């Protein structure tokens, strides 16, 4: 069977996630963002990548390779967001900008979590975490 979008199914899904920024003395600030992803049809392969946690047994080369592959997947499937700079200027959702934002751990964690919500479904994602 091809990659059909069935009745009631959506090919793109928008999720709301919080970017959790930890500040001085452990205080946290939640920055809500919306992310729009295309649903992926080969979910098992992609979810294996996101199970990667950088264990001590994984070589640096494997770690760098996995990080690059995760970034490539996010760039391929993230189609929109409402991320802004500190001055309120919107950050375009394009390849270079996605790569720059993914260099910030808190945003990367939120984006990967949003991607997992879309691909696994919200209830499955919450049960997994």
* Cβ proximity of 128 and 43 under 8 Å: no
Task: Give residue-wise pLDDT tens across range 48-83.
Answer: 656 654 444 444 556 778 788 889 889 999 999 999
Opening angle at CA 107, ends 52 and 96, nearest 5: 90
Pick out the chain residues at pLDDT < 50.
Answer: 1, 53-59, 123, 125, 127
* Cβ proximity of 105 and 21 under 8 Å: no
Coil/strand/helix, residue 70: helix
The pLDDT value given to residue 6: 62
Q: Alpha-carbon distance 117 to 120, whole Å?
A: 5
The pLDDT value given to residue 1: 43
22 CB neighbour count, 10 Å cutoff: 11
Q: Alpha-carbon distance 50 to 106, whole Å?
A: 16
The pLDDT value given to residue 57: 47
The pLDDT value given to residue 62: 61
The pLDDT value given to residue 3: 61
The pLDDT value given to residue 25: 94
The pLDDT value given to residue 9: 64
Contacts within 8 Å (CB) and 24+ apart, 37-42: 37/12, 37/13, 37/77, 37/78, 37/79, 37/114, 37/115, 37/118, 37/119, 38/11, 38/12, 38/76, 38/77, 38/79, 39/9, 39/10, 39/11, 39/12, 39/13, 39/118, 39/119, 40/77, 40/119, 41/3
């Amino acid at each position: 069977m091809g990659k059909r979008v069935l009745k009631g199914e959506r090919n793109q899904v928008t999720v709301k996630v919080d970017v959790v920024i930890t500040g001085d003395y452990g205080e946290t600030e939640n920055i809500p963002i919306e992310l729009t992803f295309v649903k992926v049809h080969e979910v098992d392969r992609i979810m294996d990548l996101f199970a990667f946690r950088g264990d001590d047994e994984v070589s640096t080369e494997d770690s760098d390779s996995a990080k690059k592959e995760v970034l490539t997947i996010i760039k391929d499937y993230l189609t929109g967001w409402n991320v802004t700079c500190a001055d309120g200027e919107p950050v375009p959702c394009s390849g270079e900008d996605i790569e720059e934002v993914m260099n910030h751990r808190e945003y990367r964690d939120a984006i990967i979590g949003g991607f997992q919500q879309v691909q696994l479904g919200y209830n499955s994602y919450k049960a997994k975490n």
